């Protein structure tokens, strides 16, 4: 089972939804970085369950512990182990689901692959696994901020049929996003989104949504052609998040309706060097960052575990009615915001470290002498 991500900045997550602890081991973090639990805790608090009426009722403190890799609040260059204890466990809620695979959940496919699965919760398919992602992503984001001033901000741009007005990619901040529990910066639509989620939660149902993200102050030159294109790595990262079903970057699918003369991003000289007038490319051309902001959207499907009675089949194929128990989000996007930011940070720091290695080893071009 693959639980590893990254090439130079490598993370390996561990834990299931109802085991004793979840966490991550980070290998490749540079030495000398100032790092304490508080640097990580803020993002975990944004991901934490039980925040409001529109999330799961599971109550967890999600307090992170740094077990290794630092001394006196400074990284040593050795592996960093981060752990969060599971405190509010209820494995008894999942008795019926030992014999009945939940519709559209990973129960059946895990059994098909491994012949065994965690009997309580979703095991490694649970969103509880993303604690390791968010923890390591917070470390990656601190490195990027320190080295480049890079900023990564995600927000909820739709819930069910309700679409928020486009956000300003240059001015939106985490502080603006966190002004509401929905993490949607459009006050005109927030209450309709909230009302829908509360209604569905009370009725034992769920809905999906979209999380948008922008990455600012990205240097040109990150990414590689062919299989390690920057947008390809971002797509892989985002679709590795539980419940994701779609990814688009830049103009995305809407760009297919434009002509080349409309879609092209002409170059222009800016204060920081060559840039583009427009940004339909989403900050990436030929799989490599061009120095403009990177922006993309991630689609999340409705959570599969709902408490409404559903006619389905057990593992033996007999028709049964499943009324799932447990505590689950009626809509995952408010808590998915820091997860999207974390996965983006993990991709960007790994690509940045690859580029820094290339630049360090690249020979200095010789200057030809005039004859």
pLDDT at 80 over 50: yes
DSSP letter string, 151-184: EEEEEEEEETTEEPPPP-TTT--HHHHTTSTT--
Split at pLDDT 50, 70, 90, the class of 213 is very high
Note the pLDDT of residue 270.
Answer: 93
pLDDT at 307 over 80: yes
Ranges 89-103, 106-120, 188-202, 339-353: which has the least confidence: 89-103
Is residue 325's pLDDT more than 90? no
Q: Which helix (H) or strand (E) holds 70?
A: strand 70-71
pLDDT band at residue 93 using 50, 70 and 90 as cut-offs = low
pLDDT at 150: 98
The average pLDDT across 117-130 equals 77
Q: Which CATH superfamily includes the segment(s) 4-361?
A: Chorismate synthase AroC (3.60.150.10)
pLDDT of amino acid 371: 46
Mean pLDDT over 96-113 rounds to 87
* Cα four-point dihedral sign 116, 120, 126, 132: negative
User: Does 115 or 196 have the greater pLDDT score?
Assistant: 196
pLDDT in tens, 7-66: 999 999 998 877 889 999 999 999 999 999 999 999 999 998 777 778 877 777 889 999
Each domain of the chain, given as residue ranges in start order, spans 4-361
Q: How many CA atoms are closer than 13 Å to the CA of 241, on its beta-carbon side?
A: 32
* This model's pTM is above 0.85: yes
């Amino acid at each position: 089972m693959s639980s590893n991500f990254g090439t130079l900045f490598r993370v390996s997550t561990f834990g299931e939804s109802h085991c004793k602890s979840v966490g991550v081991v980070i290998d490749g973090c540079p030495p000398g970085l100032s790092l304490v639990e508080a640097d990580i805790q803020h993002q975990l608090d944004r991901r934490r369950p039980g925040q409001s009426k529109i999330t799961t009722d599971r109550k967890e403190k999600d307090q992170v512990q740094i077990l290794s890799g630092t001394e006196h609040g400074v990284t040593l260059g050795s592996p960093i182990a981060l752990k969060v204890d599971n405190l509010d466990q209820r494995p008894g809620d999942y008795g019926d689901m030992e014999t009945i695979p939940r519709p559209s959940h990973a129960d059946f496919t895990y059994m098909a692959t491994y012949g065994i699965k965690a009997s309580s919760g979703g095991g490694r398919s649970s969103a509880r696994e993303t604690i390791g992602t968010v923890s390591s992503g917070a470390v990656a984001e601190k490195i990027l901020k320190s080295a480049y001033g890079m900023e990564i901000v995600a927000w909820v741009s739709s819930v069910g049929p309700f679409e928020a007005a486009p956000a300003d990619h240059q001015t939106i901040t985490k502080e603006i996003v966190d002004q509401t529990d929905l993490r949607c910066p459009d006050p005109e639509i927030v209450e309709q989104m909230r009302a829908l989620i509360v209604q569905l939660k009370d009725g034992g149902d769920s809905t999906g949504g979209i999380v948008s993200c922008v990455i600012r102050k990205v240097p040109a030159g990150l990414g590689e052609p062919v299989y390690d294109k920057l947008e390809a790595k971002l797509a892989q990262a985002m679709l590795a998040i539980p419940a994701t079903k779609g990814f688009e970057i830049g103009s995305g699918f809407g760009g297919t309706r434009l002509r080349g003369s409309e879609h092209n991003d002409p170059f222009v000289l800016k204060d920081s060097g060559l840039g583009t007038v427009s940004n339909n490319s989403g900050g990436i051309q030929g799989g490599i960052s061009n120095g403009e902001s990177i922006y993309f959207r991630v689609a999340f499907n409705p959570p599969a575990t709902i408490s409404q009675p559903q006619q389905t089949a057990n593992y033996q194929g007999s028709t049964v009615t499943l009324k799932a128990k447990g505590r689950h989000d009626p809509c995952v996007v408010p808590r998915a915001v820091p997860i999207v930011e974390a996965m983006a940070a993990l991709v960007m720091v790994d690509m940045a470290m690859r580029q820094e290695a290339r630049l360090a080893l690249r020979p200095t071009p010789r200057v030809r002498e005039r004859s």
